[in-house]
Amino acid sequence: MKQNMHILVTGGAGYIGSHTVVELINSGKIPVIVDDFRNSDPRIIKGVEEIVQQKVIFKKVDVCDLNAMRKVFEEYSFDGIIHFAAYKAVGESVQEPLMYYNNNLNSLLVCLMLAKEFEVKNFLFSSSCTVYGEPESSPVVTEESPVLEANSPYGATKQMCERILADTTKSGTNIKVLNLRYFNPIGAHHSGFIGELPIGRPNNLLPYLTQTGAGILEELTVFGSDYNTDDGTCVRDYIHVSDLADAHVKGVDWLMKQEGVFNEVVNIGTGHGASVLEIIHTFEKVANLKLNWKFGERRAGDVEKIYADASKAKSLLNWTANRTMEDAIRDAWNWEQKWRNETTDNH
Whether residue 227 lies in the annotated active site: no
222 binds ligand UDP, rule: CB under 6 A: yes
Select the residue interacting with ligand UDP from 220, 252, 268, 313 (CB under 6 A).
220
Taking alpha carbons only, the member of 166, 138, 132 closest to residue 151 is 132
Site string for ligand UDP, 236-265 (x = CB under 6 A): x-----------------------------
278 binds ligand UDP, rule: CB under 6 A: no
Tell me how many residues contact ligand UDP (CB under 6 A): 14
Distances (CA, A) of 107 to 84, 104, 221, 230: 9, 6, 34, 41
276 binds ligand UDP, rule: CB under 6 A: yes
Nearer to ligand UDP, 106 or 204 (CB): 204
- Give 318-324's long-range contacts (Cβ < 8 A, gap of 24+): 318/250, 318/254, 319/246, 319/247, 319/250, 319/251, 319/268, 321/239, 321/240, 321/243, 321/269, 321/270, 321/271, 322/240, 322/243, 322/246, 323/187, 323/240, 323/242, 323/243, 324/240
Distances (CA, A) of 30 to 27, 81, 256: 9, 12, 15
- Which of these is catalytic: 87, 100, 154, 227? 154
Select the residue interacting with ligand UDP from 6, 116, 272, 299 (CB under 6 A).
299
203 binds ligand UDP, rule: CB under 6 A: yes
By CB under 6 A, the residues from 71 to 130 that bind ligand UDP are: none
184 binds ligand UDP, rule: CB under 6 A: yes
Q: How many Å apart are CA 68 and CA 71, to the nearest integer?
A: 5
Nearer to ligand UDP, 173 or 225 (CB): 225
The contact set with ligand UDP (CB under 6 A) reads 184, 203-205, 208, 220-223, 234, 236, 276, 299, 302
